[in-house]
Chain A
């Protein structure tokens, strides 16, 4: 049976992990590769690296990081953050990334999704969508959720799928950072509308939140950062608990 995926997300700046992490076994708490290896060994199903650096060196440092991760890590990983061209993606995939996620660039230039999908295949194109509830409507936000648009979440997700996205990574800006659980009602509606997998993001704070997002939110995968980085939830424990609730997971 296809299992539900648990995906730790690592924020990267200039080739280093941004947020502090609470792993005593780490020799270098800022090294994304070392952290990635620990997560892979703990049973993470995939990893996401989100590059938030904005330097001119970004392209090169990210490519170097991807190469180092691919050398050490034997599970799939996605790279995102400011990816805006076919050339960017070509380089990252050649360095060993399995998938890329596009966000703002795809909203500004939706044809990018078609180009990436036809050149590299839908399986490596994740369209990340940040949205927030505004006057009763889920509206897409850009630049890490800072800039509002008038684009509606559901129509954009459908368009992204039709243009060739292989997965949708939906982050609710209203839930992100709250640790009060994922936006399950909205996730369920997305998951039922789309025929590609949906990754839930934003709001993880407890084991029950993961259970809920897989059952009520009908999510195919769940992404989280700080609950894993600060060891509030251990991945082996989380997966055992999910299994007890009858959710298919890889143990």
Chain B
């Protein structure tokens, strides 16, 4: 199975299925670790509250599976946040893939941030063909700060990580499936990623 969307009861999955369908690809929904582990590409969606989403991941034993995946994995919105060490939302531990602690925006800005904001300092093949300062659609109250794994930034009261990458793991705070043509380009780029085993010489 080519593309698997992790189905753990959190997220606007239908929109992601349709976004890939527009790219000519049928995605498979699954919470089965065997199916997920055998996919060529994995999407880790997420909408809602962090601690209850982590609880659902644990119920499906996915909290241990996801960090061990070797194929390209794309976390979207809350999915990306859960790939970090911790989240202030519900004070929960995350999957520990990105060495960052997710924090809440302070009230100097309107929370949640809802709408189209710019992404810049793009530094990954995930953004191939996407212009600096392109607009992406965001809906969130919590953010991942800047760090070593940051591959794109957005400003909202402060600069934060709007996309992250470490080894085969990618995450976007924005919703590529809702970000018009630029979002579609990003999803296509993700599909171009191949599993590249790291050789120990």
Tell me if B18 and A123 are in contact (CB < 8 A): no
How many residue pairs at the A-B interface have CB separations less than 8 Å?
90
Interchain CA distance A121-B139 in the complex, whole Å:
11
Q: Which residues of B contact A229 (CB under 8 A)?
A: none
Tell me if B141 and A250 are in contact (CB < 8 A): no
Among the 9-residue stretches A15-23, A71-79, A101-109, A206-214, the one with 4 or more Cβ atoms under 8 Å from chain B is A71-79
Given that A5-B115, A96-B14, A167-B114 are known contacts, is A74 also in contact with B48, CB under 8 Å in the complex?
Answer: no
Cross-interface CB contact of A76 among B22, B113, B137, cutoff 8 Å? B137
Tell me if A220 and B115 are in contact (CB < 8 A): yes
Given that A123-B47, A250-B135 are known contacts, is A197 also in contact with B110, CB under 8 Å in the complex?
Answer: yes
Q: How many whole Å from B107's CB to the nearest CB in chain A?
A: 5
Q: Which residues of A contact B22 (CB under 8 A)?
A: 74
Interchain CA distance A55-B167 in the complex, whole Å:
53
Tell me if B180 and A40 are in contact (CB < 8 A): yes
Tell me if B19 and A74 are in contact (CB < 8 A): yes
Q: Is A120 at the interface (CB under 8 A from chain B)? A: yes
Tell me if A250 and B116 are in contact (CB < 8 A): yes
Within 8 A of B (CB), among A32-46: 40, 45
Q: Which residues of A contact B15 (CB under 8 A)?
A: 70, 96, 98
Interchain CA distance A118-B89 in the complex, whole Å:
13
Within 8 A of A (CB), among B1-43: 12, 14-15, 18-19, 21-22
Tell me if B178 and A96 are in contact (CB < 8 A): no
Interchain CA distance A94-B45 in the complex, whole Å:
14
Number of interface residues of A (CB under 8 A): 34
Of chain B, the residue at the smallest CB distance from A40 is B180
Which residues of chain B have a CB within 8 Å of any CB of chain A? Answer: 12, 14-15, 18-19, 21-22, 47-49, 107, 110-118, 135, 137-141, 155-156, 175, 177-181, 183-184
Given that A70-B15, A71-B21, A122-B112 are known contacts, is A2 also in contact with B141, CB under 8 Å in the complex?
Answer: no
Q: How many whole Å from A44's CB to the nearest CB in chain B?
A: 10
Q: Which residues of B contact A71 (CB under 8 A)?
A: 18, 21
Within 8 A of B (CB), among A89-116: 93-96, 98
Q: How many whole Å from B175's CB to the nearest CB in chain A?
A: 8
Tell me if A123 and B115 are in contact (CB < 8 A): no
| A-B complex: 7 closest residue pairs judged by Cβ atoms | A96-B14, A250-B135, A123-B139, A250-B116, A121-B48, A2-B117, A71-B18
Tell me if A196 and B135 are in contact (CB < 8 A): no
Q: Is A180 at the interface (CB under 8 A from chain B)? A: no
Tell me if B177 and A220 are in contact (CB < 8 A): no
Counting chain A CB atoms within 10 Å of each CB, which of B49, B114, B178, B184 scores highest?
B114
Q: Which residues of B contact A67 (CB under 8 A)?
A: 14
